[in-house]
Structure 1
């Protein structure tokens, strides 16, 4: 019987020592899962362009494919995916720019890809960008009064 009590005390003591380690591992796992679920956006660059927006590589002259909000963009080579980007929706926010105060704080928009960058007469700031945003979309996430030619963006496909 004494042997039985020693084993029980030994097992109980061992579990008490490992409990904080298990708590830390559980907490660590929860934190990792939280960040994996909330931080999965990509980072890129965006410029802007003005009308005319038609015709587009994706939809030709069909204006019904444009969102009524005018929140749309042209895909750069990084997201074009041989035309599969047509119609994709993205959440986009400005994260920085070469001009101070260019980003509109806490503004995220949802936009639709309607064209390919090689299909538009692009401004020089648009070359090698991830997206070229309509004037409306660009103005929603960037302070246009700063005259930033391009901005750094975080984007996530919806």
Structure 2
């Protein structure tokens, strides 16, 4: 009978963690993001309700690909900057940020009016993950 030592359990745990991380990454979508500025209210999802915005101000408008006829209102997404038009496009972070969908992208004017944008981030969300000197970034996102 083989019994794992405490070191063996550690290696087994590390291996499982890596496997689960790779599986989660495989579920992620790739897209683009731009940003939009205030006024943020009223929104398509929640009107003038001030409680719709997370205290972190990390929220966004959903592009038509994830809008789902309004079903995306209130959904939370993990968003990570992966590249942009300049080398320093992404702010180095340990992981993705969590944003909340409060708006439909077709109802706002963004920095880069791109019909293919997956998500249009609030200024606070955009500057958390990307250099504000660019207007469009490539992202990885997961609901």
TM-score (norm 1): 0.73
Give RMSD over aligned pairs: 2.0
Structure 1: unaligned runs, 5 residues or longer: 1-29
Q: How many Å separate the matches in 2 of 1:61 and 1:54?
A: 6
Residues 55-90 of structure 1: per-residue CA shift (max 9 Å, x gap):
110001111111011000000001001100000000
Q: CA deviation at 1:128?
A: 1.9
Q: CA deviation at 1:36?
A: 2.6
Q: How many Å separate the matches in 1 of 2:25 and 2:32?
A: 21
Q: Which has the higher contact order (CA 8 A, sep 6+)?
A: 2
Partner of 2:125: 137
TM-score (norm 2): 0.80
CA contact (8 A) 2:79 2:140 kept: yes
Indicate yes or no: 2:63 matched with 1:76.
yes
Partner of 2:138: 152
Which consecutive segments of 4 or more residues in structure 1 shift more than 4 A?
Answer: none
Q: CA 1:79–1:112 in 2, change beyond 3 Å: closer, same or farther? A: same
Q: CA deviation at 1:118?
A: 1.7
Q: CA deviation at 1:38?
A: 4.3
Indicate yes or no: 2:28 matched with 1:49.
no
Q: How many Å separate the matches in 1 of 2:54 and 2:120?
A: 16
Q: Aligned pair count?
A: 126
**Which structure's CA Rg is the greater one?**
1
